Amino acid sequence: MGKIILEELVFYAYHGFYEFENKTGGEFKVDLEITLDFSEDIQDDRLEGTVNYEDLYKIVSNEMQIQSKLLEHVAFRIKKNIQETYTSITDIKVKIRKMNPPIKGRITSVGVEI
């Protein structure tokens, strides 16, 4: 077993509970951690038995463009889409952070992980 990790994929998107968030948007960062068995591919240097990083990025990018109120919902959709695309994956962690959230006080980000 091994892991494929994509960190800090940055998107400008329109997720949020408040109406102004849906109009003005904001910056989001996404991290993925994919667990799968790619032991044969390590030896043979083949892409066929592993996961294409570019395809993962496209899945995340497509889902980030669909406006949602909850980050939990966006993370769920990303995870589901990856699972349906790559059945060889045994575990997926999706972490989404909203940068500079509209909270009174000093805070860098809020987020979810599933």
99-114 per-position pLDDT tens digit: 999 999 999 999 999 9
44-60 per-position pLDDT tens digit: 776 766 788 999 999 99
76-92 per-position pLDDT tens digit: 999 999 999 998 899 99
For residue 15, the one-letter residue type is: H
Number of domains comprising the chain: 1
13 CB-contact burial (10 Å; exposed 0-12 / middle 13-18 / buried 19+): buried
Q: Catalytic: which of 79, 80, 93, 98?
A: 98
Q: What is the pairing mode between strands 26-36 and 89-99?
A: antiparallel
Assess contact for 92 and 82: CB atoms under 8 A. yes
CATH number of the domain encompassing residue 87: 3.30.1130.10
Assess contact for 113 and 107: CB atoms under 8 A. no
Q: Which residues constitute the domain of residue 25?
A: 2-113
Q: Say whether 11 sits in a helix, a strand or coil.
A: strand
80 has catalytic annotation: no
Assess contact for 10 and 40: CB atoms under 8 A. no
Give this prediction's pTM: 0.92
Backbone angles phi, psi at 6, to 5 degrees: -120, 125
| pLDDT band at 4; cut points 50, 70, 90 | very high
